[in-house]
Amino acid sequence: MREGEGVPVTAAPGAPRSSDTPDAAATGGAGAGPAPGGRARRAGTRPRKKAHAQLEPEVYRRRRLLVIGVPIVVLCLLVAAVTWYESEASGGKGPAEVVTVASGSSMGAVTALLVRAHVVGSALAFHVYLALHGTPTVLPGTYLLHRNESFADVRAGLAGGPDVFSVDVLPGFTVGEVAAQVGQVPGHDGAHFLSLATTGAMRSPYEPAGSDNIDGLLGTGTYRVMAGESDQALLGDMIARFDALASAVGLADGAAALGETPYQAITVASIVQKEGVYQKNLGRVARVIYNRLARGTLLQMDSTVLYSEHRDGGKVTAADLTLNTPYNTYLHVGLTPTPICFPSKASLQAALAPTAGNWLYFVVVSNDGTEAFSSTFAGQQANERLAQSRGLG
């Protein structure tokens, strides 16, 4: 036996028994050095798996979803945007809307105006349409459009220029003055309008039999003349407006209470309009007219003479006062044969309810239109001197 053979080896206290110790094969041998790479691996531990080996399938799946999903989302958004734009652009044709473009308005301001009027639903969509089809030159004026109208029709309407115009029937105007305004409206003829009004082609229910003079019988105010509207339709609107006014102020009953016909009361109102002008004068001017009529005295109203000369205001000369026309109230007693202008509502009311008083004269004595009234000729002369002293004679 060699030295050392057969001698039992005693394990150190606490050391594991041989049966608990991994064999050399499992541990890489008792004398195994550090693992390749220079790091020693602990006995009994398992090697960790690489992290990227676990993440690669998940990353791939996400990338595949992005590659497929993003184009689909973009396509859906594009389809939705095109559908929305086409819906806005195609529109329909709702109720009529009248819009007025102010001078110097930008296209942005015009578009905002159209949105407020519900002519277009989206300013953005309309701007896109104009960018694609061209922005028209929009002239200042009034246009007849429609709610929810197609962008093509809106653009065409704006490009065509204003197509809604105004005619003003002002208190104190005559039918000739109204006809002159109508003649300024594209598509209308002032001479044709005047012919309709003065030849009996269209009549007012207050117009006496045998009369073809419609002065005094058209309602005052502003009339919008739409594209394609005829002279007949416009004149009909004016007649209807006066009829509504006459009914509202109780013309028939009011005239009867004064012992006048409705047409006579309208004639008084027309003279009141021209002579009184301002609200503060109207009731007393009406009373002067009725007082003179009751006495059988000449009315001596300058406005009636001017009407016979187709003049609106101005000085009446001695030669004018000698004109032998039925409208010269310096020569003929009583009312003129017809009204001499279109009266306002206030003048019509004054003619139906004149201010109580015994005045026979009046004259303007102030630059603000104030008139002084008197019941005697001496009082009138004093008022005339006052007017002259103020540069009004």
Count other C-beta atoms under 10 Å from residue 236's C-beta.
13
Q: Return d(Cα 250, Cα 128) in angstroms, integer.
A: 56
Provide CB contacts within 8 A for 36, sequence distance 6+.
none
Residues 202 and 125 in one domain: no
Q: Which residue has the higher pLDDT, 45 or 169?
A: 169
SS3 of residue 373 by DSSP: strand
Residues 230 and 169 in one domain: yes
Q: Return d(Cα 270, Cα 220) in angstroms, integer.
A: 12
Provide CB contacts within 8 A for 246, sequence distance 6+.
206, 252, 262, 266, 348
Q: Return d(Cα 373, Cα 40) in angstroms, integer.
A: 130
Q: What is the pLDDT of residues 300-310, one digit of tens each?
A: 999 999 999 99
The two most distant CA atoms of the chain are separated, in Å, by: 179
Q: Return d(Cα 347, Cα 219) in angstroms, integer.
A: 13
Mean pLDDT for the chain? 85
Q: How many domains does the chain have?
A: 3
| pLDDT above 50 for 16 | no
pLDDT given at position 94 = 80
Residues 140 and 185 in one domain: no
**Token representation of residue 385:** 């001197």
Whether residue 318 lies inside any domain: the answer is: yes
Residues 319 and 350 in one domain: yes
pLDDT given at position 45 = 55
Residue where a domain terminates, one of 120, 139, 159: 159
The residue length of the chain stands at 393
Whether residue 335 lies inside any domain: the answer is: yes
- Closest to 352 in 3D by CA, of 238, 242, 240, 267: 267
Only one residue has tokens 């009867």, namely: 256
Whether residue 368 lies inside any domain: the answer is: no
Residues 206 and 267 in one domain: no
Residues 242 and 265 in one domain: no
pLDDT-derived band at 175, boundaries 50, 70, 90: very high
Q: Terminal CA-to-CA distance of the chain, rounded, Å?
A: 168
Residues 266 and 213 in one domain: no
We report the CATH number of the domain holding residue 141 as 3.30.1490.480
Please give the single-letter amino acid code of residue 26. A
pLDDT given at position 228 = 86
Half-sphere exposure of 305 (CA within 13 A, CB side): 21
Whether residue 77 lies inside any domain: the answer is: no
Residues 101 and 172 in one domain: no
299-330 b/e (C-beta count within 10 Å ≥ 16 → b): bebbbbbbbbeeeeeeebeeebeeeeeebbbb
pLDDT given at position 4 = 44
SS3 of residue 270 by DSSP: helix
The whole-model pTM stands at 0.74
Provide CB contacts within 8 A for 383, sequence distance 6+.
361, 362, 363, 365, 372, 374
- Closest to 327 in 3D by CA, of 307, 344, 343: 307
Only one residue has tokens 């026309």, namely: 325
131-151 b/e (C-beta count within 10 Å ≥ 16 → b): eeeeebebeeebbbbbbbbbb
The parent domain of residue 307 ranges over: 260-359
**High-pLDDT (> 70) share of the chain, %:** 77
Q: What is the pLDDT of residues 66-82, one digit of tens each?
A: 677 666 666 666 565 55
| pLDDT above 70 for 346 | yes
Q: Return d(Cα 349, Cα 192) in angstroms, integer.
A: 32
Whether residue 190 lies inside any domain: the answer is: yes
Residue where a domain terminates, one of 227, 248, 269: 248
Residues 125 and 95 in one domain: yes
Residues 362-380, mean pLDDT to the nearest whole number? 95
Residues 269 and 345 in one domain: yes
Whether residue 343 lies inside any domain: the answer is: yes
The rounded Cα 133 to chain-centroid distance in angstroms is 26
Q: Which residue has the higher pLDDT, 47 or 368?
A: 368
Residue where a domain terminates, one of 138, 159, 180: 159
List phi, psi (to 5°) of 170.
Answer: -85, 150
Whether residue 65 lies inside any domain: the answer is: no
pLDDT given at position 337 = 97
- Closest to 336 in 3D by CA, of 216, 243, 220: 216
- Across 84-88, 143-147, 253-257, 369-373, least confident range: 84-88
Q: Quote the Cα angle for 174-175-179, to 5°.
A: 125
Whether residue 129 lies inside any domain: the answer is: yes
Residues 340 and 324 in one domain: yes
Residues 287 and 330 in one domain: yes
